[in-house]
Amino acid sequence: MPFPVDTVQFEYDATVTMSDGLPLHINVYRPKASGRYPVIITHGIYGKDVLWQTAPPYQAAWEKMSQKLPGLCDGSTCQFMRWEMPDPERWVPQGYVVIHADSRGAGKTPGYLDPLGARETQDYKELIEWAAQQPWSSGKVGLLGISYYAINQWQVAALQPKGLAAIIPWEGAFDAYRDMSYHGGIASTLFSKLWMNTQILPNQHGNGASPFVDAITGGPAAGAAIPETVLRGSASSLLKDMLAHPYDDAYYAQRTPRAERIVVPTLSAGNWSGAGLHLRGNLEAYQQIAAQQKWLRVHTGDHFSPFYAPQSFAVQKAFFDRFLKGDETAFPDEPRVMLTIRDPKNGFRERAESAWPIERTEYQRWYLDANQLQLHQQLPQQGHSASYAARSDGLSFVMPAADTDREFTGPLMAHLWVSTSSADADFFLTLRLLDPTGRDVTFEGANAPAVPVTQGWLRLSQRAQDPARSLPYRPWHAHQAPQAVVPGDPYPIDVEIWPTSIVVPAGYRLVLTIQGQDFSFPHLTEGLFRGSAPFLHEDRDPTLYGGTNTILSGPQQASFLLLPFIPATRQDRGGAE
């Protein structure tokens, strides 16, 4: 297929030999004009030759994004749009080389398929160093992409490949255990099943039954078919591996980057609506990495249109123009933190901040009253308890409505006194917003049509914390071994709730719902996407996690929700700062 832009040189299905002799298959898009240009790379499992808009698992997302971005293909034919990758038709005319690579065992590249494994990350390092040395390369490489193509940016950046000059990890997990495998020690099984069966294995190299078509040749995007017995033995099983490693051991350590080794300029972009996968990692990594030149942006809404929107492309290009091209006039005086403030009544807005968490945060304790099922800033003077069946709608603690708007933006947690009738218990915490009529205010999720404000999880036997890493507003659970649970005994637990931004308008109420199962909105009773999908926690033993749980409150067993209150600035009130 000739490239639709005359000034672009398209090298289809080239190969780069890895250190162990494996040929890594890549597509290279570069300016025809002679010269040396910075390089942007994506390397992963979804198919360098799979056209997004015609691939069966991806068509619905494409249609949704196209409706949100009606001008998406105005500056591009979109013939080279690939799932979660940058569009070469937009980048190459701007003076960049773009490389799309099929990682080991995926698409056209042979080998053992082990997503996010050590060998895959080593291949990525070698590809970066190869690209930096090519005659058409300036020697500077940047990484760009969504989700998987963000997760492996963090991983390979920690290996410090020669030539890597900047990264833009967009909505990508960082901690392999806490961000994507186990939420508070509870296995996120449904996502692993769906991901493996609908996206990873269909594009495994040699899968003769793959529905993916090579958009360039019309042939199979996964290469020539290999025998089924060989195919089954040529890929790891993410779900089996995850369930075989229920604690944060060496398996996850290998897949979790060493933050102190990430030193390149970084633009980290997360999504408030991405609880379950596409938020925590971007925020934690921003705080932990050693890079001196780092920026954080947090948006909201669906998983794709924020990345491909014209204003986002402009930010991405300015960042790369500065750190890959050396243009000191690009990305000028950018605030270190840019947050979308979610206000369901007055509209969402962007606001610049100098730090994360926001420096002027006032952490407020809202105490649970187990008698009245309410949240108050005053500690209840009498002790009470309230119980619920784990497999039920649980208990909802309601904050009184106020006559003024209140903003809560930042990390949050809950300190709870709990007991259970069984030998263990799972606690699912959901922060919800109710309008004056009592109806849930929902938000468009990164991976679901309707999500609550935010969520948190903790398994009671996994309550042990690492004091060296815990913060007053964000507990860090060790997840090294189970602690004993005696039925009926009360235990204090600190539950990490993923950060959020929400303005609670006058007359609206926040609600903390505590359950022993995944949350579903009361008004959504059918289908998969009822409030927590696709990050559901299935296959839990009902004899262990299906008992009766109890929440205690009062002066001796004070349970509270810690919220990040943001006082209004003069600018928020309509004046100048």
Mean pLDDT within 135-145: 98
The verdict on 229 and 368 lying in the same domain is: no
Measured CA to CA, the distance from residue 262 to residue 289 in angstroms comes to 6
Within this chain, do residues 239 and 371 fall inside the same structural domain, yes or no?
Answer: no
What pTM did the predictor assign? 0.96
Is the distance from CB of 440 to CB of 509 less than 8 angstroms? no
Mean pLDDT on 337-354: 97
Whether 69 and 204 map to the same domain: the answer is: yes
- Tell whether 236 and 368 lie within a shared domain: no
Q: What is the largest CA-CA distance in the chain?
A: 78
Instruction: Look at residue 480 in the predicted model and tell me its pLDDT.
Output: 97
Residue 427 lies in a domain: yes
Is residue 1 situated within a structural domain? no
Q: Are residues 241 and 369 in the same domain?
A: no
Listing DSSP states for 180-249 in one string gives: TTEETTEE-HHHHHHHIIIIIGGGBTT-TT---BBTTTSSBTT-S---HHHHHTTB--HHHHHHH--SS-
What tokens does 420 get?
């259970």
Tokens of residue 250, six digits: 């060496």
- Any domain includes 424: yes
Number of CB atoms found within 10 A of residue 495's CB: 22
Tokens matching residue 228: 């089924």
Is 252 part of any domain?
no
Residue 214 pairs in a beta bridge with: 50
Determine how many CB atoms are found less than 10 A away from the CB of residue 327. 13
Distance CA 163, CA 131 (A): 8
Distance CA 443, CA 8 (A): 41
pLDDT, mean of residues 401-415: 98
Q: Is 508 helix (H, G, I), strand (E, B) or coil?
A: coil
To the nearest whole number, what is the mean pLDDT of the chain? 96
Position 352 in a domain: no
pLDDT at 3 over 90: no
Do both 379 and 241 map to the same domain?
A: no
State yes or no: pLDDT of 525 exceeds 90: no
- Report the alpha-carbon distance of residue 342 to residue 451 in Å, rounded: 13
Q: What is the pLDDT of residues 144-192, one digit of tens each?
A: 999 999 999 999 999 999 999 999 999 999 999 999 999 999 999 999 9
Domain ranges, residue 433: 362-565
Q: What is the pLDDT of residues 465-484, one digit of tens each?
A: 999 999 999 999 999 999 99
Confidence of residue 572 (pLDDT cuts 50, 70, 90): low
Q: Which of 222, 245, 268 is the last residue of a domain?
A: 245
Confidence at 575, pLDDT banded by 50, 70, 90: very low
Closest to 85 measured CA to CA, from 99, 71, 104, 106: 99
In a domain, 280, yes or no: no
- Those residues whose C-beta lies under 8 Å from the C-beta of residue 498, and which sit 6 or more positions away, are 275, 279, 280, 454, 455, 456
Domain count, the chain: 2
| Domain-located, residue 261 | no
Quick one: which H or E segment has residue 148?
helix 148-157
CATH number of residue 475's parent domain: 2.60.120.260
In angstroms, the CA 62 to CA 305 distance is: 9
Q: Tell me, what CATH number does 118's domain have?
A: 3.40.50.1820
HEC profile of 60-85: HHHHHHHHHCCCCCCCCCCCCCCCCC
Is residue 321 in some structural domain? Answer: no
